[in-house]
Amino acid sequence: MPTYTKSESLFQEANQYIPGGVNSPVRAFKSVGRTPLYIDHGTDGHVFDVDGNEYIDFISSWGPLILGHANPLIQDAIRKEVEKGTSYGACNEHEVEMARMICNFFPSVDKVRMVNSGTEATMSAVRLARGFTGRDKIIKFDGCYHGHADMFLIKAGSGLATYGESGSAGVTKGTAEDTLVATYNDISSVKKLIQAFPHQIAAVILEPVMGNMGLIMPREGFLQELRELTSEHNILLIFDEVISGFRAAKGGVQELFGISPDLTCLGKIIGGGLPVGAFGGRADIMDHLSPNGRVYQAGTLSGNPLAMVAGIAMLRQLESPGFYDELEAVGARFEALVQEAIVPYGDKLSFNRCGSLCTLFFKSGGVICNDDAKKSDTNLYARYFQLMLDQGVYLPPSQFECMFLSAAHTDEDLQRTVEAMSTALAKVLA
């Protein structure tokens, strides 16, 4: 049985200086009823905590480490660049190459602007959509998470054709009133909002594959219907592919389903593990950004050379012939093992996968929307999480987060994980 003495001591000290002891809430492990781990280092598909415990890692830094930890080509690129300097507040050649590569990966993107986080990317994309259309309101979907900008911290109101309600203190009533909330996988909910607020909606923004209530797939035809509906009403369609970009497929969910959004938000993988974000889309929209247009957006560290070289080293490896076939094989292998392991439990569990993203829900009958996900038994998940951790498997510390597979996960990793899963489920669901 592993011990966590040093992690527990560090968390106690952290609480003296950091709100809640963490710099991002999910790290607090509150939903799984324990104190967080403090990670010392990672190698391939594994991480090691400060107490010396080793884990098979299915968080992958919440997505960017699709090649695993300490990838030698990414580390070498960072080492070479850091010898030159760390930041200039000026243009550098690497940001040009990164922009070209993103446009090649995502045909819907004619031009792209680099930023420093997924939140900054989505926030800026919405401002651009408002500036381009001259409209104020946006539609988001209940359960989709787009970062912590005020406009996104809105939950569903009392009815489909009503204003959203703030889900966080500090968000003004006016901001909430400009954010309308629809139901994922229910196109009628979007139609009702458009009818209720004609010629007022600038954009519809969504995770085309939901990744922040666990993994939830779009029903057949949903994304196509959304594309047609937004085009009909001159509303911009924004895909938040910060999580799904490069993971659902090489060109994200839009490649997988053949949909071209007007704007795309990216992050995670394009920084190779360093802080980064980006948003891009049609040239006529993007040219409304300053300095060409009147929509202002700026950032001292945007296009930071260290993040750019790390991301370029990452994307070059993803471009390798056969990479995505091999990654899909890892995902398919894991799915087959999981499905076999959960057979004894009938319909007590649901499993969703898309590319290298997946979630095991402690809920029967499948999960196709936020309301389904919220019916999951979070107490059972918390027990399951602890049992898996004690067996050396590091899962997301929340029922409502994706597992992230990587190309560095071996068949042995997958087999060991499912063996641990079988042991844990037998105890949790006995």
Active site residues: 145, 240, 268
User: Which residues, 6+ apart, have CB-to-CB distance to 277 below 8 Å?
Assistant: 114, 115, 116, 117, 118, 119, 120, 121, 242, 265, 266, 267
- Establish whether the linkage from the previous residue to 36 is cis, with ω within 30° of 0: no
270 vs 383: CA distance, rounded Å:
34
Nearest CA to 196 out of 174, 184, 180 is that of 180
User: Which residues, 6+ apart, have CB-to-CB distance to 188 below 8 Å?
Assistant: none
Backbone dihedral angles phi then psi of residue 353, each to the nearest 5 degrees: -140, 145
Nearest CA to 38 out of 26, 24, 27 is that of 27
Nearest CA to 257 out of 282, 231, 221 is that of 221
17 vs 255: CA distance, rounded Å:
44
